[in-house]
Amino acid sequence: MSDQEWKGVLVFIEVTDGKVQEVGWELLGEAKKLASKINQNVQALIIGHDVEKFAKDAIAYGADVVYVVDDPGYKNYITKTYAKAFVEIVNKHKPDIALIGATNLGRDLSGAIATVLKAGLTADCTGLDIDDQSKKLLSTRPTFGGNIMATIFCQKGKPQMSTVRPKVMKMPEPDPKRQGQVIKESVPVDPKDLTVKILEYIPDSCLESVEIEHAKILVAGGRGCNTPAGLDKLKELAKLIGGELCGSRPLVESGAITADRQVGQTGKTVVPRVYIAVGISGAIQHLVGMQNSDCIIAINSDPNAPIFKVATVSIVGSWQAIVPAMIEELKKRMGRQ
Amino acid sequence: MHIVVLIKQVPDTQEVKIDPEKNTIVRAGVESIVNPFDMNATELALQLREQYGGKVTVITMGPPQAAMALKETFSMGVDRVILLQDRGFAASDTLATSYVLAQGIKRLEADGEKVDLVICGKQAVDGDTAQTGPGVACRLSFDQITYVTQVDKIDLDARTIVARRRLAKGVQVVQAQLPALLTVEKDINEPRYATLRGIIASERAKVIEWCAADIKADAEQIGFKGSPTWVKRIFTPPPREGGPKFDGPDAVKKALEVVLDNQHFKEAVFGEEGVCKR
Ligand SMILES: Cc1cc2nc3c(=O)[nH]c(=O)nc-3n(C[C@H](O)[C@H](O)[C@H](O)COP(=O)(O)OP(=O)(O)OC[C@H]3O[C@@H](n4cnc5c(N)ncnc54)[C@H](O)[C@@H]3O)c2cc1C
Ligand SMILES: Nc1ncnc2c1ncn2[C@@H]1O[C@H](COP(=O)(O)O)[C@@H](O)[C@H]1O
């Protein structure tokens, strides 16, 4: 089959617990930019049970065509069934590019799909573009722990696949008046593929559960303030300004915070409006998870701490001296607002 | 029970730099380690062997020096180590790598060594793709359970495994059919240290080496030819511009002047979207 037959930029819209993962919308925004550069359309693929209702949102966020695989058999995510449905849609509609959110589900799924399709897959991209000459997809991603960036393209195989972490691409403005086409597809589940069974789901208790990747304000602690008193001060600061607590890996390792609050290469990527880093040295593995925050305030007793290189405002000093003074000062200002 | 662990030798990522002139990765002087997640995979295999009996085979695809990584797991107590080594494997991306690893496992099975469980790390820290495991599972038609934080039970008669996997907002308990492939999270266990006896034994350990022909690898599916993705360019990310730095007694006051003037801070803390929750 010739490569020219493959047309369109397809985005997988992940639905979990009856909700669309926002990264799907973020990717539709990005897909629109890519599609316009190669004069192709934007396609969305939704798989699940009772998910057809999300098709209009997909159109509002930028899809021209939405393929919906809606069947009780897809109520729960099972790699084999979802991969089969995905592959069938791809083989039928032949998109040139396929984008998937790099969530746990998306990463679980994309490796299987790419293997079946013998397609090139670039994981965890932070930038997507189209090569002027070849019109191929260029995917840029951090590698070697974020020290180095690599731009990768697919020399052969279709579609050209990439996964992108949540919050890396900008959320587009939805336009409820946009027009698009909804195509219902039937891909029955093969009972033979149901060897994996979900026995139980244990949601994190409300208290611990936090999605720091959605917080507008984050107060992050590092080894330099990893004491009960230090963490209490950070919590006080977070509460005052309406932020969430998160931290570097040593805090997770010592049990001071749960793993879902870890920022960095092996934790989460966050892009809040405000990130206050206290007692964090700024190792590359931490920086890759937070350096795109809009406003970074760093507090560290070491004037040469690498975190200062990425900070919007740096304060040299111990948390014991700085954080309480900051809380006091902020309280004064906030009273005045 | 026969467990296969897939490990990768990776450069200690903190040390890797880029040569600004040649735009190539400088690995000289950089120490190689076993991918940290794969240490957890090895530890899990050893614990399962202790509980259910059987043996553990560790496989890696890599250059000759990757034998060092295999020996490290040998000193932890695994039964057998295999190096998949061939010049044709060089430049393999995840699609080609998963092919080679799957072929290695098929060779074991052809030799009469049926595999019940394959364990991978969640991701390799040099590439961070987390794709190799799912790729191998897919090629072998094994059930896959990714992001495993705990193995609850293995029933060798019913040929099932029950494990817990980490999702964004909770933990899922799933049952899969054996043979299955798991990828494991860092917090599943603490890898054990090698014993002195283990280290001595590993010095003399035999590393089984298989080349492309030994695993009947198709030349079209390995190395450059078998890899659809290709690196066009590598570069060091441009450093972010740091802002003012404040020191001394008035540091907080002065810093806050700047902070309170920052549009993002103002909007997030005082603006509508960041309603101040006191
Ligand atoms: C494969 C791999 C993956 C990793 N993934 C991650 C990851 O996802 N996230 C992550 O965070 N790390 C990760 N790391 C670890 C990372 O390399 C660093 O070790 C870690 O980020 C350091 O955390 P820290 O800054 O809190 O501690 P340190 O580096 O120990 O820094 C503590 C800082 O506190 C300062 N300090 C001390 N006392 C005070 C005081 N009283 N007041 C103010 N400042 C003080 C010190 O000057 C110092 O700068 C990873 C490492 C590896 C090898
Ligand atoms: N060359 C390799 N040899 C053996 N196992 C590998 C290799 N590359 C990756 N793996 C396995 O696949 C996992 C995920 O790697 P990656 O897809 O590169 O992030 C690793 O933790 C290993 O278990």
Q: Tens digits of per-residue pLDDT, A38-58?
A: 999 999 999 999 999 999 999
Most ligand 2 atoms within 8 A of CB, residue of B3, B97, B126 to mutate: B97
**Model confidence over A284-318: pLDDT tens digits?**
889 988 988 889 999 999 999 999 999 999 999 99
For chain A, what is the radius of gyration of the CA atoms? 22
pLDDT over 70 at A336, yes or no: no
- CB contact under 8 Å between B143 and A147, yes or no, is no
CB B150 within 8 A of CB B163: yes
* Contact yes or no for B264 and A295 at CB 8 A: yes
Cross-strand partners of A242: none
Model pLDDT, residue B266: 87
Q: Which residues are paired to A131 by β-bridges?
A: none
Region A176-190 average pLDDT: 96
**Mutate which: A86, A313, A337, vs B, most B CBs within 10 A:** A313
Model pTM score: 0.84
- Which of B71, B59, B67, B61 lies closest to B2 in space, CA to CA? B59
CA A70, A74, A75, A79: dihedral to nearest 10 degrees? -140
Q: What are phi and psi of A315, to 5 degrees?
A: -125, 120
| A185 close to A145: Cβ distance less than 8 angstroms | no
Mean pLDDT of A162-166: 91
Q: How far away, in angstroms, is B123 Cα from ligand 2 center?
A: 7
Degrees to nearest 5, angle at CA B69 with B67 and B74? 90
Write the pLDDT tens digit of every residue in A91-147: 999 999 999 999 989 999 999 999 999 999 999 898 999 999 999 999 999 887 667
Size of interface A-B (CB pairs under 8 A): 282
d(CA A311, CA B240): 8
Instruction: Give the Cα separation of A335 and A204 in Å (integer).
Output: 36
What pLDDT score does A205 carry? 67
DSSP characters over A153-188: EESS-SSEEEEE-TTSSPPPPP-TT---EEEE---P
Q: CB B264 to CB A16 under 8 A?
A: no
Return all residues near B249 (Cβ < 8 A) that are at least 6 apart. Answer: none
Domains and CATH numbers, chain A: 3-193 (3.40.50.620), 212-336 (3.40.50.1220)
Distance between Cα B83 and ligand 2 center (Å) = 13
State which amino acid sits at residue B179: P
Note the pLDDT of residue A213.
81
- By alpha-carbon position, which residue is closest to atom 36 of ligand 1? A224
d(CA B1, CA A224): 46
CB–CB contact A112 B265 (8 Å):
no
Chain A residue with minimal CA distance to B93?
A120
In chain B, what are the domain boundaries?
2-221, 241-278
> Using the beta-carbon criterion (under 8 Å), do A311 and B273 form an inter-chain contact?
no
User: Which atom of ligand 1 has the smallest separation from the CA of A299?
Assistant: 43
Nearest residue (by CA) to ligand 2, atom 21, is: B121
Protein fold of B2-221: Rossmann fold (3.40.50)
The predicted pLDDT at position A208 comes to 54
Prior bond to B239 cis, omega within 30? no
Contacts of B133 in chain A (CB under 8 A): 111
Question: Counting every residue, how long is chain A?
Answer: 337
Cβ-based contacts of B175 with chain A (< 8 Å)? 196-197, 199
A-chain CB neighbours of B26 within 8 Å are none
Q: Is the CB of B11 under 6 A from ligand 1?
A: no
Q: How far from each other are the two terminal CA atoms of chain B, in whole angstroms?
A: 57
What pLDDT score was predicted for residue B164?
Answer: 97
Ligand 1 in reach of A306 Cβ (< 6 A): no
B230: which chain A residues are within 8 Å (Cβ-Cβ)? 120, 152-155
Q: How much is the mean pLDDT over chain A? A: 92
* Residue B70, phi-psi category: left (phi > 0), alpha (psi -120 to 50), beta (remainder): alpha
Which among A122, A202, A241 has the least Cβ separation from residue B276? Answer: A241
Q: Is the torsion defined by CA of A141, A274, A101, A210 positive or negative?
A: positive
Nearest CA to ligand 1 atom 52: A285
Report helix, strand or coil for A312: coil
Q: Which ligand is nearest to the CA of B33?
A: 1
Tens digits of pLDDT across chain B (278 residues): 999 999 999 988 666 777 777 667 777 778 899 999 999 999 999 999 999 999 999 999 999 999 999 999 999 999 999 999 999 999 899 999 999 999 999 999 999 999 999 999 999 988 778 899 999 999 999 999 999 999 999 999 999 999 999 887 789 999 999 999 999 998 899 999 998 999 999 988 999 999 999 999 999 999 999 999 998 888 887 777 789 999 988 999 999 999 988 888 988 888 754 333 33
- Cβ–Cβ of A197/B175 closer than 8 Å? yes
Residues B158, B171: contact at Cβ < 8 Å?
no
Q: Does A151 contact B95 at a Cβ distance shorter than 8 Å?
A: no
Environment class of residue A33 by beta-carbon count within 10 Å: exposed (0-12), middle (13-18) or buried (19+)? middle
How confident is the model at residue B237, as a pLDDT?
Answer: 75
The reported pLDDT for the residue numbered A321 is 94
DSSP strands (E only) in chain A: 9-13, 15-16, 19-20, 42-48, 65-70, 97-101, 121-125, 127-130, 137-143, 148-154, 160-164, 181-184, 197-203, 217-221, 244-247, 274-278, 295-300, 313-316
Q: Are B270 and B276 in contact (CB under 8 A)?
A: yes
Q: How far is CA B229 from the centre of its chain?
A: 19
What is the predicted ipTM? 0.83
Distance of CA B129 to the CA centre of its chain: 9
User: What's the token pair of residue B80?
Assistant: 């057998």
- pLDDT score recorded for residue B276: 38
Is the pLDDT score of A176 beyond 80? yes
